[in-house]
Structure 1
Amino acid sequence: MTATISPEVLVHQLFGAFLLPPLLFMLPILAGALLLRRRPLAGWLLLLGGLLLAYGLSIPRTAMWLSAGLEQYPPITASQWQQAQAIVVLGGGKKPAPEYGRNEPAADTLGRLRYAAWLARRSQLPLLVTGGSPLGGEPEGEVMARTLQQDYGLPVRWVEMQSNTTLENARYSARLLKKDGIGRIVLVSQGWHLRRALPFFTAEGLQVLPAPTGFVRYDGGGLAWYLPAGRAMQECHSALREWLGIFFYKARGWLHGQADQPAAQP
């Protein structure tokens, strides 16, 4: 397949690049360095602000704080999934894996698939995977279905491969589900993603039970939570991207405040 990026995804990525780490703190540092000779006060303020942002967005304490408002759903319970009709797993990226000679799920996707497999074995519910080719190449849905079948020994009943965004995940998945009379689903994704994703599925007329995984948590505490770490910087990036996504879709009237409402409960 030709690796052709979706124009919509390209616009989102270019827009996000200037509002998310690392450019979020690199640009003030660069601007400050350029202003030091002509306007020392402004230059030093920008330098200091950029350095503080770089530090703050690379520590576990900030990652947990930014994620706290997103992770609004608790883990799903057996009494909830017993009343569902299907499990829907959202794609979260793929990557080339030369050791396997094919594409494999990215870390976020793999975490979702593992939890979906755990739920499927206990609930005996059929699985739907959803993910297209926003960056080109093999659809994420195809990679996800292969992983569930080959690595977990689980059949996948529906494979959605057209979507390039979470909004389209919901739209195209709902079409497949409704054809088979499915109206109540378990929705699997990271805890920080479900606040934005769930309203899109309810807007399609589905009753949704959130099944969050990958909560942003750290062992220990104290000083360890204030030491910079690559994982923390990545999780800060993910949380900020979700907050931007929520503001973007609310501004366009596509969330209608539903992201702040509790999910349907049995």
Structure 2
Amino acid sequence: MYRALLSAKLLHRGGDASKTGESEAEVYKSYLLDLGIIEKDVIEESRSMNTWQNAQFTSDIIKTKSYDNIVLVTSGLHLQRSELYFFHFGVNTIPVRADYMEAKLSMVPLWYNFAVTDFAIHEWLGFYRYYFYKQMGWNPKRVNSGEA
């Protein structure tokens, strides 16, 4: 029987934006270890407080090693903006959505539809902010990947 040797690292990120005393990365790490992931395969990045910093700090970690593929897993609603930010910092990703959000048809207004709309507006504002900052020269310099 043929068995391919695969090596994978899980890099999870997130600081303590909610000021709970424990970073998102620490919480994720404990979940991953509980699921049976080997600790040496888990890489933590606990400084980032937003998507931009996630991409920035993760790119620093990724550039210290050689990886064949970088898979970016996040909400389907959040995936395009995350991919843009990672690309800005020189990280080409394979995007994989963790969920799919869509409005629900209803004769009466639903809180869920308002929430999905709010999330979508937040994502589009992130795109506009990125390109506005780019025009103003406020984004940090690109690192590789399409250096423009």
Pair member with larger Rg: 1
Which is bigger in relative contact order (C-alpha 8 A, separation at least 6)?
Answer: 1
Q: Which residue of 2 aligns with 1:165?
A: 50
**For 1:237, which of 101, 118, 122 is the aligned residue?**
118
Q: Which residue of 1 aligns with 2:91?
A: 206
Q: Secondary structure at the match of 2:125?
A: helix
Q: Secondary structure at the match of 2:17?
A: coil
| 1:70-109 matched pairs, under 5 angstroms | none
Provide Cα deviations, 1:167-209, integer angstroms capped at 9, x if missing partner: 1101111111221223630000111111111122122222211
Q: CA 1:154–1:227 in structure 2 vs 1: closer, same or farther (change >3 Å)?
A: farther
Tell me by how many angstroms 1:135 deviates: 2.9
Instruction: Give the Cα–Cα distance (whole angstroms) in 2 for the partners of residues 250 and 188 of structure 1.
Output: 23
When normalised by structure 1's length, the TM-score is 0.44
Q: Which residue of 2 aligns with 1:128?
A: 11
**For 2:30, which of 129, 135, 146 is the aligned residue?**
146
Instruction: Give the Cα–Cα distance (whole angstroms) in 2 for the partners of residues 246 and 195 of structure 1.
Output: 9
| 1:34-49 matched pairs, under 5 angstroms | none
Pairing 1:174–2:47 present: no
Q: Is the 8 A contact 1:183 1:207 kept in 2?
A: no
Comparing 160-169 with 200-209, greater Cα deviation is found at 200-209
Q: CA 1:124–1:182 in structure 2 vs 1: closer, same or farther (change >3 Å)?
A: closer
Q: Is the 8 A contact 1:177 1:183 kept in 2?
A: no
Q: CA 1:217–1:124 in structure 2 vs 1: closer, same or farther (change >3 Å)?
A: farther
Runs (4+) off by over 3 Å? none
Q: Is the 8 A contact 1:184 1:208 kept in 2?
A: yes
When normalised by structure 2's length, the TM-score is 0.75
Q: Which residue of 1 aligns with 2:145?
A: none
Instruction: Give the Cα–Cα distance (whole angstroms) in 2 for the partners of residues 191 and 124 of structure 1.
Output: 26
Letter aligned with residue 154 of structure 1: I
Tell me by how many angstroms 1:124 deviates: 5.9
Instruction: Give the Cα–Cα distance (whole angstroms) in 2 for the partners of residues 180 and 169 of structure 1.
Output: 17
Instruction: Give the Cα–Cα distance (whole angstroms) in 2 for the partners of residues 213 and 250 of structure 1.
Output: 26
Identical-pair percentage: 28
Instruction: Give the Cα–Cα distance (whole angstroms) in 2 for the partners of residues 135 and 245 of structure 1.
Output: 20
Pairing 1:252–2:133 present: yes
Q: Is the 8 A contact 1:132 1:162 kept in 2?
A: yes
Flag structure 1 segments of 5+ consecutive residues without an equivalent.
1-122, 255-266
Q: Which residue of 2 aligns with 1:195?
A: 80
Q: Secondary structure at the match of 1:179?
A: coil
Pairing 1:184–2:82 present: no
Instruction: Give the Cα–Cα distance (whole angstroms) in 2 for the partners of residues 202 and 182 of structure 1.
Output: 15
Instruction: Give the Cα–Cα distance (whole angstroms) in 2 for the partners of residues 157 and 228 of structure 1.
Output: 43
Letter aligned with residue 179 of structure 1: T
